[in-house]
Amino acid sequence: MVTDLLFSTNDPKFQNQRTLVVTGERAEESSSRARYATFEQHRADGRGGKFARHIDHWRAVHSWSEARVWQIIERFSLQVHPAYELGYGRVSCQFCVFGSKNQWATNRAIAPRAFGRVAAYEHDFGVTIDRKLTIDAMADLGVPYPAAVGTWVERAMASTWDAPIVVETGNSQPERSARAAALPEEEHEHDHPS
């Protein structure tokens, strides 16, 4: 996790402090995630160690169903992450090792340079992310998400967000829920180990 790297640097701002890491893993996402605790000491916690880092981990929506997540988004008129607007069924690392063929095809279409770097790593190291196929082969078998064009691509690829997070009521929220429900199983059912 990115937070592990951040905390492993022993940055003074985390020493002799209390830090709460809030993440969005849900139990129904996989059998591995179902075994996670909702609240626990973070694995980078060091409250008894040399740097006295008190770090807790809260999985705030761990017990929620996907339907409940979308209901809350709709109820409070929240803007979803741009990746959902592009057609991704869940938000994780863009180049997730568990990505579907359509996700790899979309990644190649919207981020060709980054995709090329990952493909080059596969070649240089002589291993593939997938057990059988290169990411190029997977992308060749997939189809980019139709919505992965224009403004939403720019927003999804940006390092900052300056648009509102509360959107006008009825501004495509039901469409988002319907779109998420209509995604093929492969687009939102991965057994992530973390």
What's the confidence (pLDDT) of residue 76? 94
What's the confidence (pLDDT) of residue 47? 84
d(CA 53, CA 191): 31
What's the confidence (pLDDT) of residue 170? 56
What's the confidence (pLDDT) of residue 25? 93
pLDDT tens, residue order, the chain (194 aa): 566 666 666 777 777 888 999 999 999 999 999 999 999 999 888 888 777 788 999 999 999 999 999 999 999 999 999 999 999 988 878 898 889 999 999 999 999 999 999 999 999 999 999 989 999 999 999 999 999 999 999 999 999 999 899 997 655 444 444 444 444 444 444 444 34
What's the confidence (pLDDT) of residue 169? 66
What's the confidence (pLDDT) of residue 13? 78
Which pTM value belongs to this model? 0.72
The alpha carbon of residue 130 and the mean position of all alpha carbons in its chain are separated, in whole angstroms, by 18
DSSP 129-144: SSSS--HHHHHHHS--
- 23 phi/psi in degrees, rounded to 5: -130, 170
184-190: long-range contacts, CB 8 A cutoff, minimum separation 24: 184/100, 186/100, 186/101, 186/102, 187/88, 187/89, 187/90, 187/100, 187/102, 187/103, 188/66, 188/89, 188/90, 189/29, 190/29, 190/30, 190/90, 190/96, 190/98
Question: Order of strands across the sheet with 54-59?
Answer: 18-23, 54-59, 39-41
